[in-house]
């Protein structure tokens, strides 16, 4: 094994899902401190930094360089790729290459958001633009029509149902499975069990998506530290090896989505599997971006866990529940646990917990391969990370 | 602000669209987009076609996304089908809050490109994928009209 093989050695969550005592920047700080403690990495050893959406709902610092300054990171490698919630899987891709290449040795990734405490639960259905505003750029072609975030995903779900006969009940099973896992996590926002019937009889928000097809809005933050396998030997935790990464974009705005039933996960997944030299059948658990139930369904198909169009039947089989063949979002996911606006970093953190055997009652027995897949924008930018317990 | 109708905007739901248009977020025309919005003010819907490779696209850009040549404007026939859609039942932003439920759709032009729109002039429950629709436009002010779509007349 190459001593510069990239590994994740530290993870940290800030307080959540409701944390009125923290602003966005403090979420970065708390998560960073916990990741340092978790890993045993000294702060001064961090020489690479990436973050996206820093302090988005507070005034300052509001982007990458101010955030690096605030945290006091003297970096020689920096990445601020901002592609929405999957930015963190893109960071994993870029950081792994930079570490392998020797551009830096220890990369810190942070995220923090006080979305719930500052803005309430309006992200999904408040529109993007103010009343009577004038909208520049490509968004001007969508702005007059009153679409909302949920509506974008609803149009994908509608088309998938039309082409493949996918049913609301099949989508609902995704929310039910994730809630079952949230029940095992004391820090999840919603923990009471739900049924398929609960989901399909919850209020319709944007047809065909119901309230319980939608993720929660929460506060939260996370930090991840990646370094070389060689350095990991002196650290506290068993390393999670970064075996494969991929990223792909098919569009940005929803009206530009070339195929409403398919995402860039096909390309991003194929690349990650190629690098990792494993197949979907080898994966023990998936942490998938569950902004909405349809997001999970599309990612499962595009990543190759089932054929295109078979996602509904696949999820209805119970595969996604603990004890099933592919346990999903074992922390309770965005659908029931935490979604502060961009969820990608939490996918990596939960994947690492599984590979370390630290997932408590939600542990997938013997998990040795975990896949995290983030979806940013409006099913637009997909990043995939395959992590392994064992050295390649 | 006046809401002069371009084309036929009879029908109750189309009327609601006109009444709310001035309070909606509206485009800020730029070098590339201005002809599109000007055409809509005259009752026309445009898309782009590449003179070099023939690729047709929407939204309008300064380059053909297939080959990077400079695209040209083409008038659309105004006939299309609903490619996908949703019924927005909750939007906290005015003026949409009071319009819900309403249909947001992606319509495929007869010529190929797709665009976001509202399908008006029928109950939201009557909209379906594959439904034939026709374009109409509403003028907001000089040089700025907005296209909408409604069920195509059956013949």
- The answer to whether residues A369 and A350 touch, using CB atoms and an 8 Å cutoff, is no
Confidence of residue A136 (pLDDT cuts 50, 70, 90): very high
Position with higher pLDDT, A83 vs A55:
A83
CA nearest to A144, candidates A156, A158, A132, A157: A132
Confidence of residue A247 (pLDDT cuts 50, 70, 90): very high
pLDDT of A118 reads: 85
**Cα Rg of chain B, angstroms:** 16
Q: What percent of chain B has pLDDT over 70?
A: 90
Euclidean distance between CA atoms A311 and B137, whole angstroms: 39
Q: Is the dihedral of CA B86, B88, B91, B95 positive or negative?
A: positive
Q: Cα–Cα distances in Å, from A265 out to A258, A259, A295?
A: 14, 13, 11
Q: Looking at the predicted structure, is the pLDDT value of residue B1 above 70?
A: no
Contact A132/B26, CB-based, under 8 Å? yes
- The answer to whether residues B116 and A142 touch, using CB atoms and an 8 Å cutoff, is yes
Burial of B155 (C-beta count, 10 Å sphere; 0-12/13-18/19+): exposed
The H or E element spanning position A376 is strand A369-376
| Chain A residues near residue B118 by CB distance under 8 angstroms | 145-146
Q: Is the dihedral of CA A80, A83, A89, A90 positive or negative?
A: negative
* Mean pLDDT of the region B121-136: 97
Give, to the nearest 10 degrees, the angle between helix A293-303 and helix A168-182: 100
pLDDT of B47 reads: 98
Query: DSSP E strands: which ranges in A211-324?
Result: 220-228, 240-249, 285-288
Contact A134/B24, CB-based, under 8 Å? no
Contact A162/B58, CB-based, under 8 Å? no
Position with higher pLDDT, B135 vs A61:
B135
Euclidean distance between CA atoms B149 and B79, whole angstroms: 9
Q: Residue A141 gets which letter from DSSP?
A: G
| Chain B residues near residue A140 by CB distance under 8 angstroms | 27-29, 33
DSSP string, chain B: ---PEES---SHHHHHHHHHHTTS-EE---TTTHHHHHHHHTT--EEEE-TTT--EESS--SS-TTT-PPPEEEE--SEEEEEEEEEE----STTHHHH-SEEEEEEEETTS-EEEEEB-SS-GGG--TT-EEEEEEEEEETTEEEEEEEEPPP-
Q: List pLDDT tens digits, range B10-64.
A: 334 555 787 889 899 999 999 999 999 999 999 999 999 999 999 999 999 999 9
A45 touches chain B (CB under 8 A): no
> Which of A120, A130, A151 to mutate: most B Cβ within 10 Å?
A151
Contact A260/B106, CB-based, under 8 Å? yes
Euclidean distance between CA atoms B24 and A276, whole angstroms: 49
pLDDT of A230 reads: 98
Which residue of A135, A146, A260 is in closest CB contact with B84? A260
Euclidean distance between CA atoms B98 and A55, whole angstroms: 32
Quickly count: other Cβ atoms within 10 Å of residue A347's Cβ. 32
- The answer to whether residues A379 and A156 touch, using CB atoms and an 8 Å cutoff, is yes
Task: Tell me how close the Cα of A120 comes to any Cα of chain B, in angstroms.
Answer: 12
Quickly count: other Cβ atoms within 10 Å of residue B130's Cβ. 9
Confidence of residue B7 (pLDDT cuts 50, 70, 90): very low
Q: List pLDDT tens digits, range A56-115.
A: 655 556 689 989 999 999 999 999 999 999 999 999 999 999 999 999 999 999 999 999
Q: Cα–Cα distances in Å, from A235 out to A36, A65, A74, A226?
A: 10, 28, 21, 12
| Chain A residues near residue B58 by CB distance under 8 angstroms | 141
Quickly count: other Cβ atoms within 10 Å of residue A216's Cβ. 20
Contact A140/B95, CB-based, under 8 Å? no
Contact B26/A145, CB-based, under 8 Å? no
**Residue A280: CB partners within 8 Å, gap ≥ 6?**
A269, A273, A303, A304, A305
């Amino acid at each position: 094994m190459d001593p510069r093989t990239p590994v994740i050695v530290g993870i940290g969550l800030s307080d959540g899902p409701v944390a009125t005592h923290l602003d966005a920047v403090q979420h970065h700080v708390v998560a960073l401190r916990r990741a340092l403690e978790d890993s045993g990495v000294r702060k001064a050893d961090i020489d690479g930094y990436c973050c996206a959406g820093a302090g988005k709902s507070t005034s300052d610092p509001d982007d990458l360089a101010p955030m690096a300054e605030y945290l006091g990171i003297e970096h020689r490698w920096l990445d601020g790729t901002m592609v929405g919630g999957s930015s963190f899987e893109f960071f994993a891709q870029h950081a792994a290459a930079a570490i392998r290449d020797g551009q830096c040795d220890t990369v810190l990734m942070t995220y923090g958001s006080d979305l719930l405490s500052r803005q309430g639960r309006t992200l999904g259905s408040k529109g993007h633009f103010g009343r009577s505003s004038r909208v520049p750029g490509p968004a001007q072609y969508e702005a007059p029509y009153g679409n909302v975030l949920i509506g974008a995903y609803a149009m994908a779900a509608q088309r998938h149902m039309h082409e493949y006969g996918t049913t609301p009940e099949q989508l609902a099973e995704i929310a039910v499975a994730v809630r079952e896992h949230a029940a095992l996590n004391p820090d999840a926002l919603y923990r009471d069990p739900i049924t398929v019937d609960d989901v399909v009889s919850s209020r319709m928000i944007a047809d065909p998506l119901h309230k319980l097809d939608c993720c929660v809005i929460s506060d939260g933050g996370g930090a991840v530290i990646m370094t070389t396998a060689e350095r990991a030997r002196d650290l506290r935790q068993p390393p999670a090896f970064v075996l494969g990464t991929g990223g792909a974009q098919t569009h940005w705005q929803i009206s530009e989505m070339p195929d409403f039933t398919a995402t860039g996960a096909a390309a991003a997944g194929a690349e990650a599997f190629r690098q990792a030299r494993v197949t979907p059948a080898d994966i023990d658990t998936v942490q998938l971006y569950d902004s909405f139930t349809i997001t999970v369904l599309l990612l499962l198909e595009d990543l190759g866990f089932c054929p295109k169009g078979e996602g509904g039947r696949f999820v209805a089989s119970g595969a996604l529940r603990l004890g099933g063949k592919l346990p999903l979002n074992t922390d309770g996911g965005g659908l029931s646990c935490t979604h502060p606006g961009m969820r990608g970093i939490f996918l990596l953190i939960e994947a690492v917990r599984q590979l370390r055997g630290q997932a408590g009652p939600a542990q997938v027995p013997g998990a040795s391969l975990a896949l995290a897949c983030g979806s940013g924008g409006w099913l637009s930018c997909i990043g995939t990370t395959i992590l392994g317990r064992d050295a390649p | 602000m006046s809401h002069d109708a371009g084309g036929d905007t009879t029908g109750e739901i189309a009327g609601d669209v006109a009444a709310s248009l001035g309070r909606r977020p509206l485009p800020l025309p730029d070098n590339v987009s201005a002809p599109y919005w000007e055409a809509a003010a005259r009752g026309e819907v445009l898309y782009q076609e590449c003179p070099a490779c023939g690729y047709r696209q929407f939204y309008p850009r300064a380059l053909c996304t297939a080959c990077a040549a400079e695209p040209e404007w083409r008038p659309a026939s105004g006939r299309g089908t609903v490619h996908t859609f949703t019924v927005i039942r909750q939007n906290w932003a005015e003026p949409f809050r009071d319009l819900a439920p309403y249909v947001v759709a992606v319509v495929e032009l007869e010529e190929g490109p797709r665009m976001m729109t509202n399908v008006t002039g029928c109950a939201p429950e009557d909209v379906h994928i594959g439904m034939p629709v026709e374009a109409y436009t509403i003028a907001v002010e000089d040089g700025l009209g907005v296209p909408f779509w409604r069920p195509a007349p059956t013949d």
